[in-house]
Amino acid sequence: MVARAPESSASPDPRTPVLVELFTSEGCSSCPPADAFLQKLDRQPIARAEMIVLSEHVDYWNHIGWKDPYSSRFYSDRQSIYAKRLGLDSVYTPQMVVDGTSEFVGSDAALADKAFAKALTRPKLAVRLSSASVGAASVLQAHLETDALPASFGLREADVYVTVALNRAESQVAHGENAGRTLAHTAVVRSIVKVGTLRQGQTFAQDIQMKLDPGTDAHNLRLIAFLQEPGQGRVVGADVEIVGTTVAARN
C-alpha cells in the first residue's frame, strides 16, 4: 500500500501532491536503480510532499531478447510527447518526469531533489478520489471531483486523467540485459484514460467505471487521478487512492 501520512482539512501544513512518472523497461540494464528510487519515493520521504508515482514501461527495448510484460506502445508514445515538449532530441530510459515540466535520468537523486523542490513551490488544485472499489465483472468504480479551476493558474482548461496501476509487481527476467535478475516495481501503470475536461471557473465531478484486464488482482491496485495542461503540459493537481474490493467481487 501507499504510505500516506494522516491528513485533515484543518492541517496547518497540508502536503502538496507531486506527480512523478518513471519511463522504464525490464530490458534496460540502467533501469533497476531508477525502479528502486521510485519505490523509495512511494514511501513518502519528503516533507510537505505527497509523492504520487507512476511506473510506465516503454516497449522499445523489447527487441533485444526480453519482452517486458508491463510494456506498451502507449507509454512509449506518451514519453515521446514529453520529449518534444521538453526540447529533447530523443527518448531514453530510465527517465523521470515531474509534474510534466522537469525531466532527468530517473536514478539521479540530486536532480530529483531540485525538481521536487520546484514542484512544491507551484500551486495545485484539489483533486479528490473516493469510494474506489472493484465490483462484479471486474469493474473498477470510484468517484472523482475537483475544486474550480481558477484564472490564476493561467489555463483555460485542463485534461482530467484517471490511471489504474498495480501497487507491486515482480518479474524473473530470463533474457536480455537483465537476464537472471529478479526485478521489482511499484505503481505499474496498466491504463491511462482521459475522462473529461476541467474548464476555467468550473468544477469537475464524475463517477468512474473502468473495466480491468482479466486476471487482475483486485487487492493489488491503486487509482490515480491528475489534471494536466492540454498537450501533456504541466500537472496542476493529483490524488491517489488504494482500491478496495466489494463483497460482490470476492464471491
Q: What is the CATH number of the domain that holds 202?
A: 2.60.40.10
Residue with cell 484517471: 162
6 part of a folded domain: no
- Structural domain of 94: 16-250
pLDDT at 137 over 90: no
Q: What is the pLDDT of residue 13?
A: 61
2 part of a folded domain: no
Residue with cell 527495448: 61
Least confident among 5-9, 115-119, 228-232: 5-9
208 part of a folded domain: yes
143 part of a folded domain: yes
pTM greater than the 0.85 cutoff: yes
First to last CA, the chain: 23
232 part of a folded domain: yes
Least confident among 3-17, 208-222, 228-242: 3-17
Count: domains in the chain = 1
**Torsion, Cα of 162, 100, 54, 119 (10° steps):** -110
Strand-pair category, 244-245 with 95-98: unpaired
4 part of a folded domain: no
128 part of a folded domain: yes
Tell me what the pLDDT averaged over the chain comes to: 92
**Pairwise CA distance, residues 32 & 168, whole Å:** 14
